[in-house]
Every structure is written in structure tokens, then in C-alpha cells.
Copies of this chain bind each other. A is one copy, B any other.
Amino acid sequence: MAARERLLVIGGDAAGMSAASQARRRRGPDELEIVVVERGWHASYSACGIPYYVGGVVDDLDALIARTPAEFRDRGIDLRLRTEAVEIDLDGGRVRIRSLDEGGEHWEPYDDLMIATGADPIRPRLPGADAAGVHGVQILGDGVAIRRVLEEEKPRRAVVVGGGYIGLEMAEAMVMRGLEVSLVDAADQPMGTLDPDMGAIVADAMRGIGVQLHLGEPVEGFDASPEGRVTAVRTGSRTLPADLVVLGLGVKPASGLARDAGVETGPTGGIVTDRRMRTRAERVWAAGDCVETRHLVSGAPVAIALGTHANKQGRVAGVNLGGGYATFPGVVGTAVSKICDVEVARTGLNEREAAAAGFATLSVVVESTTRAGYHPGAAKMTTKLIAERRSGRLLGAQIVGRENAAKRVDGLAIALWHGMTVEEMTGLDLGYAPPFAPVWDPVLIAARKAADAVERDMRSGS
């Protein structure tokens, strides 16, 4: 009988716990010991659910927790919360561990190491950024803290810094709580992963629910009371009074621990892995927000922090750790979000990204409806397709609309996955019935218009 091996997992959220669970499914406790160390109070939770908890759409914090520590322990996974990995010793095959509550440190040996350290929120190095009342939105504890402030301190004015998905969702959550909400972003549009024309539709929707937008205004600092509580957010143009500030400036891979140990990271700052989620260090694996992956349209490395990728990558690592074979092929950059009743989706490259990747592009924007125009539930939907000139290959797509609009991005993502041309897409056999689509689905109309544009562009001789 082979000696019992030891898998040490750093990070107990989506990627780490998926890997641990998959490895356990394939190798029992007598074959493989699994230890997971997690810095926080919770494992395996839905960070994407935080805005819904803050806004009150989801009332019970436990609902965001997929599995409790006890459930993992019952499956033979030794999950240790409030335990931080502070150093990796690759040559020694060990990790230095600190108990955050008790304070002691010791070395834990491993045969295989799984790094799933997630992402760190980007916090501006600005005067006053450490004031009380300035909150990030990263871990479940952030959501708990913000909700407690909302319920106990009854703040009146909130300022959200950053107009990405989390920023917009948090702005909505605080509108739902009855606050006056302003949103500040250095960029000229919210939702910078969309092109400006599509971002403008989102901006209008945000204004429509009562959010004051201050775009093109970098934050220069935060004012605080003598007691150290935030009182205002300062931009170059104005001072916005604030009882509560939420930072939604995005995240970067939390790869420092790995990098310090000599595990290779790439141009995005994420850990480099192959398709099986192996790093370049022997028997060291990584998955989730801390790694970089391949964008299947541009071919470039990207770091995209998203629970769905973390789950898939963690599962792939776990299958391989368990003696199976699985691969994570890369991403096409799909994302969806809902702000009040406005649905937003994107996949592939936007115009700026496509240009940066060296593509010559053309774009079409189509206004249509989610259902047959005569059906009472028909809602407006704007679809944008970005195609390569000459070849007509689909490079990206963006959707802004109402009910039932955004999930159409899935079909577009699969078309991208296969390198379809917009002309080929005009023939796709998509579901049609009046409650679901006009007889020409918006995706098909957009494909037709894009195919026509490719043809016209070709003939124009420019």
C-alpha cells in the first residue's frame, strides 16, 4: 500500500474548497489527507451575493454559505478557519501557518500544495482612505459590516467609488435601503468593460434609479471627523458629503505569497498555470482569482476574478490531484450583471481590447425586444456585436436590456468559443416562440447586420 499523502490547500473559498472536495471524491482519507487553511471566518461562500445581502434581497447570511466547516470536516477535509499561510518553503515542501486567534506559528508539510489565495481589493493610497466608514466589498465580513452600519447607524448619504459590477450593484443595494447614493469614477463611463456607447445606457439606467453619477472624476481623498469617521469624498471638482463610503475599485490577484516563494507569476500579476492548473513549481497547483488564464479570443493572459472560473478551476485541480485528468481551457470574458431591472452582459473583447489585441474591427448596434413585439412582456434590448473586418469573425458582444436580455450572452460566448463568423451565426437555430423572442432573435438580427457591415466594408475598398 502506498504511503498516505498530504494535500495542503491555502484558501478555503470557491477554488480551494472545490479542489479539496474533488480530490476527496477520488481519493479517500486513508489515501490522502487534506488540510485547508483559511484566513477568514467563513469558507465556501458566495462573494457575488454580498450586494444582495447588503440590499436586503437576501436576508440570511447563512444563505450565502454553500457548505459549513462541519460539512467539510464530515467529509474528511480538515478545514482550519482563522488560519493564515505566511510563507511557502518550496524546497522543504512546507508552509508556515499562523493561527490568527491564538497567535502561534508552525510549519505544515505537504506532498501537494494547492494555492487558492484569491484576490486583494484595490485600495487607493489616498489621504483618509483608512477612515472608519470606508468599506471594501471583498469578503463576507465586509458585507456583514456594511449591513450592520446600514441598520444600526442609519447613514443618510453613501458614496460608491468605482463603477464596475460591484460598485453598481452596491449602489443599487444602498438605493434599496433608502440612502442618497453618489457614484464616482475616474473613467467617463460606468462599467468600463463595455464600450462607451453601451456604458452610456447603463449610466442612464443608474441615473434613472436615482444614483448621482460623477464620471471622469478621480477621487483625490477622503475627509474624516476628528474621531476618524469619514465625512466626505473629494474629487478634483467637488466634495461629496458621505456617511458611508464603499470602494468598488476592482481586485488584483493575491499572488504575493506564491511569488515570494518563487512560484512564477505572469504579466497580469496572476500565478502562471497550465490547463491542468499546475504551476511551474513541482507539485504546486493554483486556481481561482490568484491565477491568470488564457483569453481564448485575444490569446493573451488575463486575470478575471469571478466565482464561476474559480469553481471550475478548483474542480479541475481537484480532479487532477485525485488522479484523474481534467483541463481548464481558458475564458472568453463573459460577465453578466443586473442593476434594478437593467440587465448587462458582455463577452469577448470590447472595441478597445480588440484594438489592443491587434484586430481591425467593425461594430453594429441593434435595438430590438426580448420577446415578440406584440407580446405584453416584450422589453427593450440593445445588442452590440464586434467583428473582425474582412474575416467577419465574432470578437465580442455586449447586451444592455431588461428582463430576459442578459443571458443571451451565453449563446454569443459559445459562438466566440468556436470562432464563428457573424455570417455563420445568421443561420443558428435559436429558440423561437413569442414569449421568448421575436421571430428574428436579437442575436440573429445583430449577426445579420454585422454580416452586412462586413460585406459593405469589403466592397467599400477602404
Nearest-neighbour CB distance to chain B for A353, whole angstroms, equals: 15
- The answer to whether residues A52 and B375 also contact, given A404-B407, A427-B312 and a CB cut-off of 8 A, is yes
Within 8 A of B (CB), among A433-447: 433-437, 439-441, 443-444
Enumerate A358-408 residues with CB–CB distance to B below 8 Å. 372-376, 404, 406-408
Report the separation of the CA atoms of residues A426 and B431 in the bound assembly, to the nearest whole angstrom: 22
Is A336 in contact with B49, judged by CB distance below 8 angstroms? no
Residues of chain B lying within 8 A (CB to CB) of residue A58: 374-376
A434 close to B372 (CB less than 8 A):
no
Known contacts A52-B375, A58-B375, A418-B418: A407-B428 contact under CB 8 Å: no
Enumerate chain B residues within 8 angstroms of A337, measured Cβ to Cβ.
Answer: 433
Flag if B46 contacts A331 (CB, 8 Å).
no
In whole angstroms, how far apart are the Cα atoms of A431 and B399 in the complex? 12
Shortest A419–chain B CB gap in Å is 10
Q: How far is the CB of A440 from chain B (nearest CB, A)?
A: 6
Interface residue? A458 (CB, 8 A) = no
Are A414 and B436 neighbours in the complex by a CB distance under 8 Å?
no
A347 beta carbon closer than 8 Å to chain B: yes
List chain B residues, Cβ under 8 A from A408. Answer: 407, 410
Instruction: Assign chain A's interface to a size class.
Output: 35 or more
Residue among A14, A373, A374, A417 with most chain B CB within 10 A: A374
Whether A308 and B411, one on each chain, are in contact in the complex, defined by CB atoms closer than 8 angstroms, is no
Q: Which residue of B lies closest to A304 (CB)?
A: B429
Given the known A-B contacts A372-B46, A418-B418, A426-B312, are A409 and B431 also in contact in the complex, defined by CB atoms under 8 Å?
yes
* A308 in complex: contacting residue of B332, B417, B435, B440, CB < 8 Å: B440
- Given A329-B427, A418-B418, A427-B328, also A432-B374 (CB < 8 A): no
Q: Does A333 contact B (CB under 8 A)?
A: yes
Interface residue A251 (Cβ < 8 Å from any Cβ of B):
no
Minimum CB distance partner of A410 in chain B: B411
Given the interface pairs A374-B63, A436-B407, A439-B46, the reply to whether A429 lies near B57 with Cβ below 8 Å is: no
A430 interface residue (CB < 8 Å to B): yes
Q: How far is the CB of A116 from chain B (nearest CB, A)?
A: 15
Bound-state CA distance A306–B430 (Å) is: 11
> Which residues of the partner chain B approach A336 to less than 8 Å between Cβ atoms?
431-433, 436
Q: A335 on the interface (CB 8 Å rule)?
A: yes
Tell me how far the C-beta of A207 lies from the nearest C-beta in chain B, rounded to whole angstroms. 21
In chain A between 255 and 285, which residues have their CB closer than 8 angstroms to a CB of chain B?
Answer: none
- A82-122: CB near B (< 8 Å → 1, else 0) gives 00000000000000000000000000000000000000000
B404 touches A430 (CB 8 A): no
Bound complex: CA of A343 vs CA of B49, how far in Å? 26
Taking a contact as CB atoms under 8 Å apart, the answer to whether A48 and B414 are in contact is no
Residue of B whose beta carbon sits closest to that of A334: B429
Which residues on the B side are within 8 Å of A308 (C-beta)?
429-430, 432, 439-441
A320-344 Cβ-contact flags toward B at 8 Å (1 or 0): 0000000111011111111000010
Residue of B nearest to A295 (CB): B429
With both beta carbons as reference points, the residue of chain B lying nearest to A169 in the complex is identified as B433
Residues of chain A having any CB pair with chain B under 8 Å: 14, 46, 48-49, 52, 57-58, 60, 63-64, 165, 296, 306-309, 311-312, 327-329, 331-338, 343, 345, 347, 372-376, 404, 406-411, 413-415, 417-418, 424, 426-437, 439-441, 443-444
- Could you jot down 6 A-B contacts, CB within 8 Å? A49-B372, A335-B433, A336-B432, A337-B433, A411-B411, A414-B428
